[in-house]
Structure 1
Amino acid sequence: MKLINKLLLLGIISIFFACSDDNDDPVVEVSSEFEENLSLDEWEYNDYSQGEYGNPEGWETSNPGTTFLGVVNAYEEMEDVVSGSAAKLETKEIAITGLASATIYTGQFDLNLSDPAKSAQLGVPYTKRPTSMSFNYKYTPGDVYKQYTGAVGTVIEDAVDSCLVYMYLQKREGDQILRVGTAAMQSSETVSDWTSRKLDVTYGEIANPEVGFKLREEETGWAAAETTPTHVIIVFASSSAGDFFRGANGSTLFVDNISIEY
């Protein structure tokens, strides 16, 4: 049970994901598989104990972690879309941890029984310097915001859930992981109709960064603004504080037609 719990925590939301660092040398411009499916139109399906779950090709989702307890919370949406298919991310109550925020992200989940912390790897090789990231989205926060301790949730009065979207460009070299560029948003606003959003990339250090712009736990500092990145992390999450087991059951984020501008 302890092993399952650890793996579930890894799959719920990105802050617990370990970042791999398997290339220390400068590289020429590198593209990644996720760029071939920014539209989120192509999905692949995997079996688990109670059926199957889908991941957009080139992307990973929270599903490999949550399906250990029989829950799928990231779906291919084929009807309520801008075009083709979209991703539907729904926060759900779940056994053991109480809450599972749904995510799609760049990276991979490879089960490692000897070292569970290495099962989820956030980020993929990427050496480009984009100016912005755009996407279409809808968001509805769930009705009741709670802090979960185990499977027990305590209502936090007057609090509203929020979605979180970010693109982090990193320079990984040896034991150092430096933040090169940042584009992010956190929003509690209900967006009922498909809406286009553009997030500009800020390069270099950000003074007094707001939520979504702060360094991740494993990042060791800020890179100079002119630095060429080696990796990119892109995350869409239905509950921004899911890593702290705070959020609202039923919070739902739809995402379609991602675009990266240069």
Structure 2
Amino acid sequence: MKMRAIYNLLLGVAVITLLQGCIKNDIDYPQIALSITGMQVEGQKENAVISEKDRTVTLKLEENVNLRKVHVTKLSVTEGAKSTLAPQDIIDLTNPYEVILSLYQEYRWKVIAQQDIVRIFKMANQVGLSEINPDTKVAIANVRKNTKWKELDLLELKLGPKGTTYNGKTEVPELKWTLYSNYASAQVKVQYQDFFEENWELRVYRKDKDVEMKRADGWVNVAWLYAEGIEGSDNGFEIRETTTEEWRKVDNSYITADGAAFSARIPHLKEQTTYVCRAYSGEDYSEELPFTTGIAKQLPNAKFDEWHLKGKVYNFWAEGGEEFWGSGNKGASILRSITTPDGTNTWNGQTGTSVKMESMYAVIKFAAGNLFAGYWYDFAEGSFTDGHLKFGRPFTERPTRLTGYYKYTTGPVNQMDKDSDKYDELYPLLKDKDDTCIIWVALGDWDAPIDIITAKTSSKRKMFDQNDPHVIAYGEFTQGKTINNFEPFEVELEYRDTNRVPNYILVVCSSSKYGDYFFGSDQSVMWVDDFTLEYDYND
């Protein structure tokens, strides 16, 4: 009996041990997106550019910073996260530097340095700008065709940070020129302190003409002309339509000079017209260059008089017509549409409709009334509250501004989502403030509409980024006060390039500027009416 009792006891212990060994630890740790929220180093020129999407921190540094020994002075990360980088660390930024943030999971970030050295190579009798290639370490300048090789005169040279020596001298060095079949060459040793040393070749060619037309970018009512000539000469442009032989001199008020380079912004041109232009420098003229202007295309249903109701959702196009404008109505339609046509409020008090956008707490979260060029795609994957939108409609012209009419009722910001990872950033910014409406416009060369996902965490959220390299032009209008009667607004577009042609236009209106992050006032209401794209500049 005693042996049986011991046996049963041991068997019971074994079974319990076996069962315990089969118990699986299924505790799910919370998934918290970890971010670098701020960073500063010695020699930093501007605020760090932080991309949640790419998990990168880009730092613009002064030209005299030693990239191999960059001193970190400040670093902030998501609360509770551990970082492999800390303030006072010395890091090498000659290549992207990896930082690992950890809290339950690991997130890998990269710190990227941008260091632009201003380089100058200028000769006497120079024609146009120099070509300076930091990769090949070759700098090229052109001089007038009557310049004698033995009289080459170097006026200015800067190929490294301020204080750099050239062949051992800080002032402009005396160079030994070697003559080849069609150019002269000189070698320069460039040194700065103990960490910067490069060997450069300087080349000088003779130019047949004193002026060269570089480019002509025809928009709709505007053209941009670019040329290079002799610095300090009488530099300018002439223009004519191809249907006439009479040249018209471009007014000096439209011309901007930058050394030997000069450009012009010419307004008041005819749309869909072919012109010919040429540049002059002194008495010398460039070759002629043609360009053709575009068409002053307008946005569909820009007066917002066409709309239809489908179920609970208002759509801002005629039934069966062209779908251009979208809204978040499908996402908010559990309650009701928050963006609606309003026939009682038009900018001129006449027949027609405006668009009314209301911010409100819709069932379980705050939603801002909105209208945008694009369409509602669906709810975000795995959610019945986060919206997935598509921003952008095909568009290839280059307007200068968007105008229209609006009115706005604001209220105190009383909706602040504490579950949003933007709470710590936006709460101090919006506390005790009135709400703000926004209208913004962007043109870009994307291949497809932009995905926008509204979510509380950066790991799920996708937003428009003004710093997106696809952006060609951007402008915005905001208002934080109540405007009782319709007033005109204007969104001036600032272009980053004049020769890039867009594929898409984005136009977005919201009754709460930070509504995408679920911040705003449930008292905010915005009306918009009668949009117009303009294509000219004022004098």
Comparing 58-67 and 127-136, the one that deviates more: 58-67
Q: 1:159 to 1:131 in 2, by over 3 A?
A: same
Task: Work out whether residues 30 and 127 of structure 1, in 8 Å CA contact, stay in contact via their aligned partners in 2.
Answer: no
Superposition deviation, residue 241 in structure 1: 0.5
What is the match of residue 54 of structure 1?
A: 314
Taking structure 1 as the reference length, the TM-score comes to 0.70
Does the C-alpha gap of structure 1 residues 200 and 109 become closer, same or farther in structure 2, counting only changes over 3 Å?
Answer: same
CA distance in 2, matches of 1:231, 1:225: 16
Q: Of the candidates 266, 290, 302, which is equivalent to residue 38 of structure 1?
A: 302
CA 144–35 in structure 1, closer or farther in 2 if over 3 Å, else same: closer
Say how many residue pairs are matched. 207
CA positional deviation for 1:80: 1.5
Deviation, structure 1 residue 36: 2.5
Range moving further from structure 2, 190-199 or 172-181: 172-181
Secondary structure at the aligned position of 2:396 is classed as coil
TM-score by length of 2: 0.35
Q: How far apart in 1 are the matches of 2:387 and 2:505?
A: 18
2:395 equivalent to 1:126: yes
* Larger RCO (alpha carbons 8 Å, 6+ apart): 1
Largest Rg, 1 or 2: 2
Tell me which residue corresponds to 2:483: 191
User: Which residue does the alignment assign to 1:210?
Assistant: none
How far apart are 1:55 and its partner, in Å? 2.0
Per-residue CA shift, 1:90-125, capped at 9, x if unaligned?
00112332x100100001123378788995211011
Match of 1:213 in 2: none
Classify the secondary structure of the residue corresponding to 1:71.
Answer: coil
Q: Counterpart amino acid of 2:443? A: L
Higher percent of residues as helix: 1
- Distance in 2 (CA, whole Å) between partners of 1:101 and 1:185 is 17
Which residue is 1:228 aligned to? 501
Specify every segment of 5 or more residues in structure 2 that has no aligned partner in the other structure, as ranges: 1-293, 318-323, 451-467
Q: Name the amino acid aligned to 1:75.
A: T
Deviation at residue 65 of structure 1 after TM alignment = 1.3
CA distance in structure 2 between the partners assigned to 1:65 and 1:185 by the alignment: 25
Q: Relative to 1, partners in 2 of residues 1:180 and 1:157: Cα closer, same or farther, differing over 3 Å?
A: closer
**3-state SS of paired residue (1:37):** coil
User: Could you say which residue in structure 2 is the equivalent of 1:18?
Assistant: none
- Which residue number corresponds to residue 212 of structure 1? none
- Structure-2 change in CA distance of 1:251 and 1:113 (3 Å): closer
Q: Does 1:159 align with 2:433?
A: yes
CA distance in 2 between counterparts of 1:173 and 1:114 reads: 23
Secondary structure in 1 matching 2:332: helix
Which residue of the other structure, out of 122, 135, 142, is the alignment partner of 2:404? Answer: 135
Check conservation: 1:46, 1:53, Cα contact below 8 A: yes
Q: Are the aligned partners of 2:380 and 2:387 in contact in 1 as well (CA < 8 Å)?
A: no
Which residue does 2:368 correspond to in 1?
Answer: 101
The verdict on how the C-alpha distance between 1:144 and 1:121 changes in structure 2, with shifts beyond 3 A counting, is closer
Greater mean deviation of Cα atoms: 121-130 or 176-185: 176-185
Equivalent residue letter for 2:409: T
Aligned twin of 2:331: 65
Classify the secondary structure of the residue corresponding to 1:65.
helix
Letter in 1 for 2:303: S
2:377 to 85, 110, 134: 110
Alignment root-mean-square deviation, CA: 3.1
Distance (whole Å) between structure 1 residues aligned to residue 381 and residue 342 of structure 2: 35
> Identity percentage over the alignment?
22
Letter aligned with residue 514 of structure 2: A
Residue number among 442, 452, 471 corresponding to 1:168 in the alignment: 442
What's the secondary structure of 2:446's corresponding residue? Answer: strand
